């Protein structure tokens, strides 16, 4: 079996769905194995260019995505450089035009408010054209609805939607969430996951604890 680190297309005759890890070259984007991205509009291999926006090297901010995530077409990850600073009296980004205004090039990052990395947990589903803003952390097993704009952290196994995104409901009762967070099935080797695949797909958390 070809391991996901080296395999791009997980489905026969489907060039719109890829294992995202194999399409990443930017060292500030880290993607776990088996995470998939689907794009029926553009080439999914262009994820770094089309979906990860304003991630300028000068900030050194990171996009970290866990294992077994599902990312739908057009989802965007919007980094700090898209934010014009609120500390200034003006929203105009003077520091990036340092030559024009005779400013110190070393202060270019003062043009925006840096809120940090975007961290996506494992087994997260991000819906069609959802937008995740800088500094946001999304817990394991969460679901982000189509075209939601996520401005705040999302707890594990929570469904959110809307603009700005708000909690719709928890996917499972608290005791099931606790069990899943202890099990970390996505860390299991391939053979063990395959052995317990029916329990995972059928929602039988108790049987995974045996």
At 30, which CATH number? 2.160.10.10
Residues 166 and 177 reside in one and the same domain:
no
Asked if residue 33 lies in contact with residue 21, where contact means CB atoms within 8 angstroms, the answer is: yes
pLDDT at 63 > cutoff 70: yes
Task: Determine the average pLDDT of the residues in 173-186.
Answer: 94
Total domains in the fold of the chain: 2
Would you please indicate which residues are annotated as catalytic (active-site) residues? 84
- In a domain? residue 53: yes
pLDDT at 2 > cutoff 70: no
Residues 191 and 122 reside in one and the same domain:
no
pLDDT at 76 > cutoff 90: yes
Residues 128 and 206 reside in one and the same domain:
no
For every residue of 28-92, DSSP letters joined together read TEEE-TT-EEE-SSS-GGGHHHHTEES--TTT---EEE-TT-EE-TT-EEE-GGGSPPSSSSS-S
pLDDT at 27 > cutoff 90: yes
Residues 155 and 123 reside in one and the same domain:
yes
pLDDT score, position 178: 93
- In a domain? residue 182: yes
Asked if residue 115 lies in contact with residue 135, where contact means CB atoms within 8 angstroms, the answer is: yes
pLDDT at 1 > cutoff 60: no
- In a domain? residue 137: yes
Residues 158 and 190 reside in one and the same domain:
no
pLDDT at 3 > cutoff 90: no
Residues 133 and 162 reside in one and the same domain:
yes
- In a domain? residue 141: yes
pLDDT score, position 208: 84
Residues 151 and 207 reside in one and the same domain:
no
Confidence of residue 206 (pLDDT cuts 50, 70, 90): confident
Residues 210 and 202: their CA atoms lie apart, in Å, by 15
pLDDT score, position 82: 87
- In a domain? residue 145: yes
pLDDT score, position 4: 64
Residues 22 and 66 reside in one and the same domain:
yes
Task: Determine the average pLDDT of the residues in 36-65.
Answer: 96
pLDDT at 195 > cutoff 60: yes
Instruction: Give percent above pLDDT 90 in the chain.
Output: 86
Mean pLDDT value across the chain: 94
Range of the domain at 182: 173-210
Residues 127 and 61 reside in one and the same domain:
yes
- In a domain? residue 89: no
Asked if residue 113 lies in contact with residue 95, where contact means CB atoms within 8 angstroms, the answer is: no
Q: What is the pLDDT of residues 78-118, one digit of tens each?
A: 998 888 999 999 999 999 999 999 999 989 999 998 899 99
- In a domain? residue 194: yes
Task: Determine the average pLDDT of the residues in 34-57.
Answer: 97
pTM score, whole prediction: 0.93
């Amino acid at each position: 079996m070809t391991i996901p680190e080296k395999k791009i297309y997980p489905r026969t005759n489907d060039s719109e769905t890829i294992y995202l890890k194999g399409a990443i070259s930017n060292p500030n984007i880290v993607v776990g194995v088996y995470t998939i991205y689907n794009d029926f509009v553009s080439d999914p291999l262009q994820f770094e260019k089309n979906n990860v926006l304003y991630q300028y090297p000068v900030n050194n901010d990171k996009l970290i995505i866990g294992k077994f995530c599902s990312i739908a077409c057009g989802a965007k990850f919007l980094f700090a450089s898209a934010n014009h600073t609120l500390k200034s009296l003006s929203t105009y980004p003077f520091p990036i035009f340092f030559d024009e205004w005779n400013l110190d090039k070393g202060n270019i990052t003062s043009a925006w408010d840096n809120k940090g990395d975007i961290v996506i947990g494992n087994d997260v589903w991000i819906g069609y054209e959802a937008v995740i803003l800088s500094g946001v952390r999304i817990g394991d097993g969460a679901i982000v609805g189509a075209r939601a704009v996520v401005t705040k952290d999302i707890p594990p196994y929570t469904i959110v939607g809307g603009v700005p995104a708000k909690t719709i409901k928890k996917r499972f009762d608290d005791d099931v969430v606790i069990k899943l967070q202890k099990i970390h099935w996505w860390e299991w080797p391939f053979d063990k996951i395959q052995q317990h695949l029916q329990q995972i797909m059928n929602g039988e958390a108790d049987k995974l604890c045996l």
